[in-house]
A and B are shown apart, each in its own frame.
Chain A
Amino acid sequence: MVTAPVQDHVAAARALAAKLPQLIDESRRTAISLRSGLHGNRKVGPGSDFWQFRPYVPGDPTNQIDWRRSARSEHTFIRQTEWQASHNYWIWPVLSPSTYWASSDKLPSKAERTLIISIALADLLIRNGETVGTFDGERTRITSAEHLEKLGHAMLASPQSIAGQATNIHPGRKHSVLILGDFLEFADQSEQSARTVRRLGQYQNDGALVQILDPAEIAPPFQGRVDLFDTDAQMIFRSEKFEDLTEGYKLRAQKWRALVRDAARQNDWLYDRHVTSESASPTLLALYQHLSERQNQSGSNGRGRPNLHRHNTQEMS
């Protein structure tokens, strides 16, 4: 097993940025199967599609009266079109230094996979007419698929840790927040990290935590005397016989993942786990379905967490 040490994650990030067009291409291919057309908000609003007829009440603009419908009955009806407004999604790939590591040359680094999933998701959402942004300094938001590359660069510039960002990042009300990363900081800074996540979900924000892991992080394949180093070449741990530690590691890894999951749960967010040795599509599909479900549950304006009082008016015909 060859370990690819990541001494300089800045350089790695730069390399990733250079690969961005390629990643975008790959993301598009991943997203293409899941893509569908512009969708309505199933709610009255500005748009070109018919949504419902409503009896005219005084004060309504007269140019909205649908005369043909009104002629069929004694009442005067106003033709209302569906509100076609985009929803806001914040996609935040947390590209901490540890994500640039891969256990083998054959596997993509976690950062790469994180970025691919993020961009693929962004692509899908933008094509559905949504607005996608990320938490870099300028809070870049795009609505057009042509600007995916700009978004990709912005993603690379987004904060590299969750903990301590609680006060810097404010998604809008009911905006969806998707956080992707290996969430290693939950292992030693779980309190602060969980707090940040909780804050991000405080205004009815829907969201998901996607934990992207290397297979070696689930079941470490090491044996014998091993010195374990961090990506910054600092020795973390020496094991005389790693086989003895495997069980302990697995227990702690479960606990670690449970912390992440709990952080997702407290906001009623989706938690998903992706392993870099697998294909990105299932994870992407799960995320997309989750978002679609929320959309269905929450109705017209209903991104964000489902609220109990929904004003859903059926079409009258």
Chain B
Amino acid sequence: MSLSAITFLYPAMLAGLLALPIVWLLIRSAPRSPKTVIFPAARILRGLKSKRRDIQRAPIWQTILRCLILTLLIIAAARPVMNRNDFAANDGAILIIADNGWDSAANWRQYRTALQQIANQARFELQTVYIAQTAPEAAGATTWKLPDIVGPVSPNDTKNLFDRLQPRPWPSDYAALSDLISERPEMNRAVGSILWLTSEMDSPGKAKIASELLDIAPITTISPTITDRIAIRSLSRSGTGMLATLAHNRDDQPREINLLARGERGNVILRHTVEITPDSDQSDVAILLPRDISNAIQSVGIEGVESAASVFQTGARWQQRRVGVVVSSGDGPGVLSDQYFFLDRALSPYADVTYAPLGTLLEDKVDVLVSAGPISGLGSQFDALERWVNEGGMLVRFAGDSSSQIGNEFLPVTLRLGNRDFGGSMSWEKPKRLLDFPDNSPFHGVEVPDDITVTRQLLAEPDPDIVSKTWARLTDGTPLITSTPRNAGRIVLFHVTPWADWSNLPMSGLFVELWQRLLPLASPSNRSDAELQSSLPAQTILDGFGRPHQPDALILPVQTPLPTPNPRHPPGIYGENGQAVALNLGPSLSDIGRDVVWPSGISTREITDQSQVDLAALCLLAAFILILFDAAILLVLNNVSLRRSRRSNALTSLLLAAVLTGVATTSMMMPAASMAATLPEAALQPRLAYLETGNAPVDRLSRAGMTGLTEILRRRSAADLNTVDGVNPETDELSFYPLIYWPLVDGQEPFSERAQERLNRYLNNGGMILIDSRDREVQPARLRRLLAGLEVPLLDRAPSDHILFRSFYLLDHAFGRFSEPLWLDARPSQRLDGVASVLFGGNDWASAWIIPEGRDELRSEDISPRQREMAYRFGVNLVMYALTGSYKGDQVHIPAILERLGR
């Protein structure tokens, strides 16, 4: 800390220091009050005159002390500020470009600090602010676009806007930003300086937009102090463990990072330290791991880097299955290498392949059984095999050799006798090719190469359900791969041999891809009766920080081939069970190591953690302490005993100091608060409220629930409500609140007349109360007993077409923790526009509205995510209903109105 870091907001106040010498003289000449001493012998002094009658001066230390106090007060009035950040010239508005692409997440905390500092400065200098983001967001039905530039806003309003900025797990779109900015000529005229919070990473269009922006106003880029960028480009399994490829920026220092592999519940399975060599932008890491540990890995992240790019999720295909190939005990090794050569090549990189007789394999509990031709050794193991399939095993069968008969059991379809031969020397027909894979097939989306030919196949009987069982068919429509679930298990039949004499499929790359799709389906957790889907809905999505979330309605399902992450398809896990695929950000990133080359004329500065410190409070505190010190010295010097009446002097001094400091502090800290002291906060901004029951856990629950609902509303709707209030009708004015949540508790005191009168007035004037019995029991009679004295209207079950259920979302129940029916005004007053004033139910809404965050004591475990989501929706509907009344009900007439207008 140096003195130069201190600046004064009101330096003119320092002129007050000029008065210091005068004050010095005043203090110095002010006599102290005389000491009183009892001294009987003083009577001999009567008539004695002192030689000089000069008044005693205040002692020098006291003068200095008091002048110091005054100096401190003057300095405090001048508002000294330490580490003042001058981001932009005080000239016109500020355009803040907040980079919120994926690379911003790792430095988001610093960005937030910088945003705060910028807002502070703008507040000091009364500049308006425009805020632009660089990451696109979902818009329209299936598309996305860059959010509009917000502004001009006053710096005081920026806090909410800043709170809404989030790093996104997809790249920035600078070209779109350039278009956006050029669409706002009036902004470009107003803007005096541009502050760009961005990292040094190069992205397409970044340098270009920078040079374009320079034409508008001078740019200052504000970059984080941490310049490390790192992403997991790919992650794959090797025979001995796994391989990771890291992309990162070049650095001349060796670095160490830690890879964290996490399991299903987010528990850390593995922590691997990686040395990153200097001057490279890519590192390959091989980690030796046992197979079952690798299988358990759900995601790999980088310790200390919170970014979607540093999280690589694995999906179902990651887990290696144990594949058993059934051989008869008589087969020699030659047969194995001969017949199963291609199969082995296709399987072994992704699975653990063993060759053994059926009995051994069943005992080993393999995930997948592969058999070519008749299953050897079936006779004695028939029951065991059936049980294994029923319990979730996956049996993959191939045609055998020329003997061609592979038996009647354990087949997905009925086979015709004999096989079909085409393209051979005995046939006129040409070899057949493959058609594209149908929708119901797990192979859907896999590119079929042209050069796959089939010369012989097993023919299936054209049963009625043959279409749904077929996963692949030839150009003439005959099935090539068929499958059927059997209880928890599944049977798959390739209508060709696993070696290359019937078709060249086994030697093709397609064979490998087919196995890659097939193996994950054999997951032990897989429900084979579940529909195989070609478009995979999102299961969990990552936010910009790489933290998993439940997907919302904006997320679209993915289809293979996987898209690059974008606002409609953020990184995450899509599809269920064996079909779960991971969409990762890392593979789509390229060149993250390259630094951007800024055009000349751009000034850069780093974000500093040293936030502005207002020293005024410090000065006031010091002055206060000195005043206390002064008083203490006076106490000691004057021998004033506090027990005696002579304390008044010292006490006056103490009190004066306290009052002075208090007044000064309040006037400095809360200029607005003093003005608004007479008005309740709630009158200035709408907010939800809950009735304070006096039962602390219930009140805490209510507050948390309503806070959660407020947050949900802020995220999903235009209703930006302020923090929740707890109200007590005995003391508080209710009329400011659009909706009051009232949980019933046992033994609640009946309201006083005053409170009843207040509640009645509230209801009569259009207030709305949601009464929650919290125990599923909804008996209006019981309510009436509890609410004696209140003018509760006649209640009736809410009809399913009530506006409440369509004011924002379309719902069919008043979802809370339970889904019991809701009761409300049977005949709402027309004076209130037909809007119900009392709603009564027992669904324990507050506990459903809590946004679960970590280990919260309020978190109730028995609410499923879906139930919670529905409760949120009901909450949004409810508040919309409370805020807009019957407006949404009128909207049903819009077509008719439009029609009339058109006429």
A binds B: yes
- Say yes or no: A245 contacts B50, CB within 8 Å: yes
Q: How far is the CA of A98 from the CA of B42 in the complex (A)?
A: 11
In the bound complex, do residue A245 and residue B37 qualify as a contact, i.e. CB atoms below 8 Å apart?
A: no
Q: Which of B26-69 contact A (CB under 8 A)?
A: 31-46, 48, 50-56
Q: Does B225 contact A (CB under 8 A)?
A: no
- Shortest CB distance B341–A (Å): 112
Is the pair A236, B37 in contact by a Cβ cutoff of 8 Å?
A: no
Q: Which B residue's beta carbon lies closest to that of A3?
A: B38
Within 8 A of A (CB), among B346-395: none
Contact B44 A224 (CB under 8 A): no
Task: Kindly identify which residue among A1, A5, A229, A253 contacts B44, using a CB–CB cutoff of 8 Å.
Answer: A253
Are B35 and A245 interface neighbours, CB within 8 A? no
Question: Does A150 count as interface, using CB distance less than 8 angstroms?
Answer: no
CB distance from A95 to the nearest CB of B (A): 13
- B34, A227: Cβ atoms under 8 Å? yes
Q: List residues 215-235 of chain A with CB under 8 A from any CB of chain B.
A: 216-217, 220, 222, 224-231
Contact B55 A240 (CB under 8 A): yes
Q: How far is the CB of A206 from chain B (nearest CB, A)?
A: 29
Min CB gap B202→A, angstroms: 79
Q: Are B50 and A240 in touch, CB under 8 angstroms?
A: yes
Task: Classify the secondary structure of B's interface with A.
Answer: loop
Q: Please determine whether B56 and A239 come into contact, CB atoms closer than 8 angstroms.
A: no
Is B43 in contact with A240, judged by CB distance below 8 angstroms? no
Q: Is A256 an interface residue (CB 8 A)?
A: yes
**When the two chains form their complex, are residues B43 and A220 in contact, meaning their CB atoms are under 8 A apart?**
no
Q: Which residues of A contact B46 (CB under 8 A)?
A: 188, 236-237
Closest-CB distance, B33 to chain A (whole angstroms): 8
Q: Tell me the smallest distance from the CB of B559 to a CB of chain A, in Å.
A: 96
CB-based contact B35/A231 at 8 Å = no
Chain A residues with CB below 8 A from B50, complex form: 239-241, 244-245
Decide yes or no whether B273 CB sits under 8 A from chain A.
no
Question: Is A226's CB under 8 angstroms from B53's CB?
Answer: no
**B649 interfacial contact with A, CB 8 Å:** no
From A6, A225, A230, give the contact of B42 (CB < 8 A).
A230
The answer to whether A2 and B41 touch across the interface, beta carbons within 8 angstroms, is no
A227 and B36 within 8 A (CB): yes
Q: Is the CB of A226 within 8 A of B34?
A: yes
CB atoms of B37 and A224 under 8 A apart: no
Please tell me if A135 contacts chain B, counting CB pairs below 8 Å: no
Q: Is A224 in contact with B38, judged by CB distance below 8 angstroms?
A: no
B639 an interface residue at 8 Å Cβ cutoff? yes
* The residue from B33, B37, B41 contacting A3, defined by CB atoms under 8 A apart: B37
Q: Which of these, A4, A227, A228, contacts B45 with CB under 8 Å?
A: A228
Report chain A residues within 8 Å CB of B45: 228, 236-237, 239, 245, 248-249, 252
**Contact between A184 and B34 (Cβ–Cβ < 8 Å)?**
no
**Contact across chains for B41 and A184 when beta carbons are under 8 A apart:** yes
B587-600 toward A: CB 8 Å interface, digit per residue (1/0)? 00000000000000
Return B224 CB to nearest CB of chain A, in Å: 64
For residue A1, which residues in chain B have a CB less than 8 angstroms away from its CB?
37, 639
A248 cross-chain contacts in B, Cβ below 8 A: 45, 48
Given A224-B56, A225-B31, A236:B42 Cβ within 8 A: yes
The size bracket of the interface on A is 35 or more
Residues of chain B within 8 A of A236, CB atoms compared: 39, 42-43, 45-46
B residues near A216, Cβ cutoff 8 Å: 39, 41
Contacts of B48 in A (CB 8 A): 237, 245, 248-249, 252
Please state if A101 and B40 are interface contacts (CB–CB under 8 Å). Answer: yes
Closest to A2 in B: B639
For residue B212, give the distance in angstroms from its CB to the closest CB of chain A.
79
Tell me which of B33, B38, B45 has the highest count of chain A C-beta atoms within 10 A of its own C-beta: B38
Expressed in whole angstroms, the Cα–Cα distance for A100 and B50 within the complex equals: 29
What does the 1/0 interface line of B162-186 toward A look like (CB < 8 Å)?
0000000000000000000000000
Q: Which residues of A contact B54 (CB under 8 A)?
A: 240-241
0/1 per residue, A264-290, Cβ < 8 Å to B? 000000000000000000000000000
> A17 at the A/B interface (Cβ < 8 Å)?
no
| A227 & B37 in contact (Cβ 8 Å cutoff) | yes
Determine whether the beta carbon of A231 is less than 8 Å from that of B31: no
CB neighbours (8 Å) of A230 from chain B are 38, 40, 42-43
Given A239-B50, A241-B50, also A252-B44 (CB < 8 A): yes
B41's contact among A217, A238, A239, A244, by CB below 8 Å, is which? A217
Q: Which residue of A lies closest to B52 (CB)?
A: A244
A98→B35 contact, CB < 8 A: no
Q: Is A187 an interface residue (CB 8 A)?
A: yes
Is the pair A226, B35 in contact by a Cβ cutoff of 8 Å?
yes
The CA-CA distance from A190 to B664 in the complex, in Å, is 63
Q: Which residues from A are CB-within-8-Å of B51?
A: 244
Provided the pairs A224-B56, A236-B43, A241-B50 are in contact, do residues A231 and B38 lie with their beta carbons within 8 angstroms? yes
Q: Can you list, as one digit per residue, whether each of A136-169 has a CB less than 8 Å from chain B (1) or not (0)?
A: 0000000000000000000000000000000000
Bound Cα distance A302, B829 (Å): 125
Of B35, B36, B41, B52, which is within 8 A of A224 by CB? Answer: B35
Closest A residue to B639 by CB, please name it: A2
Closest residue on chain B to residue A7 by CB atoms: B38
- B82 to chain A: closest CB distance in Å? 43
Cα–Cα, bound, A107→B376 (Å)? 121
Partner of B39, one of A97, A229, A240: A229
Residue-wise interface mask of B (606-644) relative to A, using a CB-CB cutoff of 8 A (1 in contact, 0 not): 000000000000000000000000000000000101000
Would A3 and B39 count as touching, CB distance under 8 A? yes
Q: Which residues of A contact B32 (CB under 8 A)?
A: 224-225
Cα of A6 to Cα of B39 in the assembled complex, Å? 10
- Of B44, B51, B641, most buried by chain A (CB within 10 Å of CB) is B44
Q: Which residues of A contact B44 (CB under 8 A)?
A: 184, 187, 249, 252-253, 256
Contacts of A244 in B (CB 8 A): 50-52
Q: How far is the CA of A249 from the CA of B40 in the complex (A)?
A: 13
Smallest CB separation, A106 vs chain B (Å): 14
Interchain nearest-CB distance for A170 vs B (Å): 30
Residues on the B chain within 8 Å of A188, using CB = 43, 46
CA distance A6 to B38 in the complex (A): 8
CB distance from A272 to the nearest CB of B (A): 18
Name the one of B33, B43, B52, B641 contacting A184, with C-beta atoms under 8 angstroms. Answer: B43
Write out the residue numbers on chain A whose beta carbons fall within 8 Å of the beta carbon of B641: 2
Residues of B within 8 A of A229 (CB): 36-39, 42
Of chain A, the residue at the smallest CB distance from B641 is A2
Kindly state the separation between the CA atoms of A188 and B46 in the bound complex, as whole angstroms. 10
In the assembled complex, the CB of A227 is this many whole angstroms from the nearest CB of chain B, namely 5
> Can you report 20 residue pairs joining A to B where beta carbons are below 8 Å apart?
A4-B38, A97-B40, A103-B39, A216-B41, A217-B41, A222-B35, A222-B37, A224-B32, A227-B35, A228-B42, A230-B40, A236-B45, A236-B46, A237-B46, A239-B50, A244-B50, A248-B48, A252-B44, A252-B48, A253-B41
**B residues near A, CB below 8 A?**
31-46, 48, 50-56, 639, 641
Chain A residues with a Cβ under 8 A of chain B: 1-6, 97-98, 101, 103, 182, 184, 187-188, 214, 216-217, 220, 222, 224-231, 236-241, 244-245, 248-249, 252-253, 256
Lowest 4 CB-CB distances: which A-B pairs, in order? Answer: A98-B40, A225-B34, A228-B42, A217-B41
Known: A226-B35, A236-B46, A249-B45. 19 other contacts (CB 8 A): A1-B37, A1-B639, A3-B38, A4-B38, A98-B40, A103-B39, A184-B41, A214-B41, A225-B35, A226-B37, A229-B38, A231-B40, A236-B43, A236-B45, A238-B34, A239-B50, A240-B55, A244-B50, A253-B44
